[in-house]
Structure 1
Amino acid sequence: MGDLEIRPATADDVAAIVAMLADDPLGAQRESPDDLSPYMSALERLNRDPNQYLMVAEREGRVVGTLQLTLIPGLSRKGATRSIIEAVRIHADERGSGLGTQFIEWAVEESRRQGCQLVQLTSDASRTDAHRFYERLGFEASHVGFKLAL
């Protein structure tokens, strides 16, 4: 399968990232791969924030996965810092290869390295396969999430 590199995303990766974000029924409704300008603006904002890590997994020169790791310092839990893993996507050709496990393990280790006491993530209620995947990695479905579109 070739060597895997996990590295920060660059502007050159944005088209591949957006394609992965749009490559499922939910993402197809939310993403616009034909206009990358809002994604490029978002990447600039992310790059200015030291608590944001937009990462890609690259194999043999090809972006095959992405995730965003956000560090959140807080007062609760005795002043704990937590991390949130978001927008995890694995290229369709790589699903089932173990890449998702490697990528999440990287995010957990990086969270630990950054002094986090808790790692959390959300997954759309319809993504039952993803729920099983995260549970296999030790995550627990412990909360009910709410969103408000603005």
Structure 2
Amino acid sequence: MIFRKATEQDLAAIVELMADDMLGKDRENVQNPLPIAYLKAFERINSDENQELIVVENENSEIIGTLQITYIQYLNYCGTLRAQIESVIIRKDQRGLGIGKKMFEWAIQRAKDKGAKIVQLTSDKQRPRAIKFYEDLGFKATHEGMKLHFK
């Protein structure tokens, strides 16, 4: 597996991964060409040194997964850096093969290499298998997360 920073050419494949999901199917738009909002978001992510949008390729150079790491500078904990891992998606035909574990091992090491002292994530409560997976990796549910969606 190859882990690399996503390029604009990867955008359609990433959106397809996001849309091929029980929650993403209702919120993503895979029309061709993609809505300009995806390109604008990609450009903002790509130009921000605190963001890393990563794709995972198999031996055939096919994108089989993606994740995003956001580095957040905090004052607390003596000014530590945190890494937020989000949007972890594996292509459906590749699930259950240990790829998710390898992706998290890579992302955690990447966060350590960047100087992060804490790695955190959120997971939708509608994904109990994902939550169990994160717990098996050593993540602990230490906080209650909340969101406020705007219409």
- TM bucket by the smaller chain? over 0.9
Gaps of 5+ in 2: none
1:14, 1:36 within 8 Å by CA — same for their partners in 2?
no
Q: Which residue matches 2:120? A: 120
Give 4+ residue runs of structure 1 displaced > 2 Å after superposition: none
Q: Which residue matches 2:81? A: 81
1:11, 1:43 within 8 Å by CA — same for their partners in 2?
yes
Gaps of 5+ in 1: none
Deviation, structure 1 residue 131: 0.5
Q: Which residue matches 1:58? A: 57
Q: Distance in 1 between matches of 2:141 and 2:30?
A: 32
- Please state whether the residue corresponding to 1:64 is helix, strand or coil: strand
RMSD between aligned residues: 0.8
1:71, 1:84 within 8 Å by CA — same for their partners in 2?
yes
Matched residues, number: 147
Q: Which residue matches 1:13? A: 10
Q: Which residue matches 1:141? A: 141
Q: Which residue matches 2:71? A: 71
- Please state whether the residue corresponding to 1:25 is helix, strand or coil: coil
Q: Distance in 2 between matches of 1:14 and 1:104?
A: 21
1:56, 1:67 within 8 Å by CA — same for their partners in 2?
yes
TM-score under structure 1 length normalisation:
0.95
Deviation, structure 1 residue 36: 3.7
TM-score under structure 2 length normalisation:
0.94
